[in-house]
Copies of this chain bind each other. A is one copy, B any other.
């Protein structure tokens, strides 16, 4: 069997996340449906990241096995003809049989967008978290620096996460100003706990609002207690940018 890797972009607004579930439309379901139409047989697709309801992706990665003779790079074109316009396979290629979208991954990059203005943006209404009070951008930048490195991020995990270890390494974390009153958080690391980026974003928003100080961050990380961190920021601001292999 040939192993095909897909890089998938999607607008998560209209979906109940990546993973197939009953009574809700998901991205995985659409990709498998398109593959069944294309190949004539039910073909399971394994995605790297189980993005939540409303979360977007520029670089979700999935793989599937097939005995089809379609050249690897042609699957993107064939599938995009069958997929809704808010799910696009940006790249497809044949990979070695032992490649696994989840187990082979070495890290990920996420983006979180905040629209900091008196009114939410009409164009970014499903693409950014709206925060009305003016955020102290410099304090947010300083706070972000404390997250970089290897830490036990137990304080930044939603209940329901089931992992052996809560130690993760954050390679980089940058907060920058974009046009149209947007603040962008970009984080890359070797792995992330359940809702970790959204809790980090919510904590940085608290710092920006003055509800927490940037100097509180090391203690919040060290305390290993979820209740010390900020609120979980909404899903609509989150983007899975890239998965490293």
Contacts and interface: CB of A to CB of B under 8 A. Distances in A.
B122 A86 contact: yes
A39 interface: no
Chain A contact residues: helix, strand, loop or mixed: loop
Tell me which of A9, A56, A89, A117 has the highest count of chain B C-beta atoms within 10 A of its own C-beta: A9
A85 interface: yes
A113 to B, nearest CB: 11
B76 A122 contact: no
A113 B80 CA distance: 22
B122 A9 contact: yes
Q: Interface size class for chain A?
A: 20 to 34
Contacts of A87: 122
Contacts of A120: 85, 88
B122 A88 contact: yes
Interface in A118-141: 118-123, 125, 127
Given A76-B118, A118-B76, A56 B123 contact: yes
Given A58-B180, A180-B58, A11 B122 contact: yes
Contacts of A153: none
17 contacts: A9-B121, A9-B122, A9-B123, A10-B122, A11-B122, A11-B123, A11-B125, A58-B180, A76-B118, A76-B119, A77-B119, A85-B122, A85-B125, A87-B122, A88-B121, A90-B118, A123-B127
B119 A89 contact: yes
A38 to B, nearest CB: 16
Nearest to A85: B125
Nearest to A180: B58
A120 B123 CA distance: 18
Contact of A86 (B56, B88, B90, B125): B125
A183 to B, nearest CB: 16
Contacts of A90: 117-119
Interface in A63-113: 76-77, 80, 85-90
A135 B121 CA distance: 31
Given A11-B122, A11-B125, A88-B119, 12 more contacts: A9-B122, A10-B122, A11-B123, A58-B123, A58-B180, A80-B119, A85-B120, A86-B125, A87-B122, A89-B119, A90-B118, A90-B119
